[in-house]
Structure 1
């Protein structure tokens, strides 16, 4: 009742890549525009790389994502390389100046093995002096406590279709939260239910995985304005480089 293509188009409505409005977009766009070759892991609909090319980026841009519907939408631009797969599938060696995981995509790496394989592949893909930037939700903020039907919100789809969306937590096991995202008509007639799991790692846990994979943390921030990580912070933004 609500296709993958419609879901991908709706994602762009909810999450526009606009550096003037969203600090994450501004932060990452600055890094992308300064890098000659960029690998965007979990690129989704490709909006960050689309924006970079529109701004005049002339180097190599590669987007990788496991969601075919998202990639189909990303492929509206043919001057960017699009690859179907997960981070652990990254098979490049020393080809990129910058690797990115935006919109908390890093949290989709659930198991220890998946994290290790992904970080190893990302490190291998970077040139000497390259950097890996990603953001995660800080577990201390307990963002999942707001993921419930009482927080439903109304939105218009890409074609102006009136919709309602909400999230609902199914389980919390250790540092992994599993939840559903429901897309419905305004009368709450359900059109689509998507299920996902996210892992919430704190600063020491992130550092441990990065070190094991051969990374050194270059900078770490508590928000996209480059503020410090604090006890009340909601984000952990990390810039790492191969050791």
Structure 2
């Protein structure tokens, strides 16, 4: 049986610093209607919905949404299969992209279209928050078997899981996700490509889509962005 990445996703990504940061921003902005684009297994979406907010989670992966729907609290969320164009106009006062979703938009046109869809989805005075890895920190240099290897217990037996950087041509980085079932010997390998845009490019793209940027952080403790910060975390609002 093939490795069920969607079912294992939360176990592979146990840290919740990003979720707590975004939930704090939603509280700060007194958001009542939230949109989570690229919601994955929906951990953040369910957290935002748990306090009675109206929540929409959008993701193009049906397996991720399968896990999201089945998780406790999943019934509180409107889950939608698809992309940013599935967002209703003027239906959210807080939109978020977590889990480095912003980096999956490799082409500038696709990234621009997503930002315009999010701008359309937000009410005047609403807020958009997301993060992207800071290219100056060079996270891909640490994507090796030695530094990323984890072993998960699954119904099919213990499975090794790790990442390896395949190539670098900034702003794009290709990397492989590999698994090995220690019981059966079955192996898998999947190649993905991420965009590592710098802060000035991200701010420019937001302005072009009709946003004004109000905050830029360098980590989940909301410290100012520096040259070696691991993250670029942005908060923006639809311009009047």
Q: TM-score scaled by structure 1?
A: 0.90
Matched, 1:27 2:21: yes
8 Å Cα contact 1:90-1:122 kept in structure 2:
no
Q: Closer, same or farther in 2 for the Cα pair 1:225/1:152, shift >3 Å?
A: closer
8 Å Cα contact 2:217-2:223 kept in structure 1:
yes
Please state whether the residue corresponding to 2:120 is helix, strand or coil: helix
Q: TM-score scaled by structure 2?
A: 0.91
- Counterpart of 2:195 (choices 199, 224, 241) is 199
Please state whether the residue corresponding to 1:207 is helix, strand or coil: helix
Q: Where in structure 2 are the equivalents of 1:128-147 lying within 5 Å? A: 128-147=124-143
8 Å Cα contact 2:158-2:183 kept in structure 1:
no
- Partner residue, 2:222: 226
- Partner residue, 1:95: 91
Cα offset for 1:149? 2.6
> Structure 2: how far apart are the matches of 1:68 and 1:162?
25
Cα offset for 1:188? 9.4
Cα offset for 1:90? 3.4
- Partner residue, 1:60: 54
Cα offset for 1:190? 4.1
Q: What is the aligned residue count?
A: 234
Question: Mind listing any 5+ residue stretches in structure 2 that lack a counterpart?
Answer: none
8 Å Cα contact 1:182-1:190 kept in structure 2:
no
After superposition, give the CA deviation of every residue in 1:133-174 in whole Å (9 maximum; x if it has no partner): 001100001100111233352322455942211212222223
Cα offset for 1:66? 0.8
8 Å Cα contact 1:155-1:164 kept in structure 2:
yes
Superposition RMSD in Å: 1.9
Cα offset for 1:206? 0.6
Matched, 1:238 2:234: yes
8 Å Cα contact 1:95-1:125 kept in structure 2:
yes
Cα offset for 1:79? 2.2
Q: Where in structure 2 are the equivalents of 1:81-230 lying within 5 Å? A: 81-87=78-84, 89-157=85-153, 159=155, 161-186=157-182, 189-230=185-226
Please state whether the residue corresponding to 2:151 is helix, strand or coil: strand
> Structure 2: how far apart are the matches of 1:238 and 1:199?
16
